[in-house]
Amino acid sequence: MVVLGLLLIVLAGAAVVAVSWDEAATSSATASFTVFDRTFQLSQLEFFFAGVVTGAVFLLGLALLLAGFRRAAARRRRLRDSRLAARDRVAQLEEEKRELERKLERTPAAPPADRDVHSAADRDRDGVADRDEPTMPHPRPEVPRQSDRSADQLVAGRHERTSHRR
C-alpha cells in the first residue's frame, strides 16, 4: 500500500510540474498537452477538471500511504506487545522456579516410603510385580513350507532355480 501510495503521489506531482512549466497552457483559452506521443487539447473548464482529478489522485495516494504506515505501526505494536508478554511470562516462570528451589532446599529430605506391593508396579493386582511376571511369546502363525518338488522361487520379478543359489 505504501508503494502504491507513493507512486500515485509522484504521478500527481509530475502532472502538476508538467502543467506549471507550460506557460502557454495558462495564458490561452485552450491548452494542448502531449502525453506519450498523443496531443490533448483542453479548454479552461477541462483543464480545471484535470486539476481536480490530479488532486484526487494525490489524495488517494496520500490515503494509501498513511493507511500503510498505520498498518505497519499496528503490526509492530502487536509484535512488541507479544514480545513483552512472553518476556513477562518467562520472568514469572523463572521466579516460580526459584521459589520452588528455595522451598525444596528448606524442606528436609524425607526417607523413602515403603511402597505398596499393589502399586503401579503391579497393575493386574495379582501380588507379583509386572516386571517379574513371565511373559508369553506371541504365537507365531504357521507358514506353509515349500515342497522340494517346486524348486522355483519368485525373486525380484522373475523365476529362478534355487539349486543355483544354495
CA 25 distance to own-chain centroid = 54
Q: Which of 42, 36, 8 is nearest to 22 (CA)?
A: 42
1 in Cβ contact with 65 (< 8 Å): yes
Using pLDDT thresholds of 50, 70 and 90, give the confidence band for residue 161.
low
pTM for this model (two decimals): 0.45
CA dist., res. 79 & res. 84, Å (int): 9
24-71 per-position pLDDT tens digit: 555 666 777 777 788 878 777 777 787 888 888 888 988 988 999 999
64-113 per-position pLDDT tens digit: 889 999 999 999 999 999 999 999 999 999 999 999 999 988 887 765 55
More confident residue, 94 or 150: 94
Query: What are residue 163's phi and psi, to 5 degrees?
Result: -65, -30
β-strands 38-43, 30-35 pairing = antiparallel
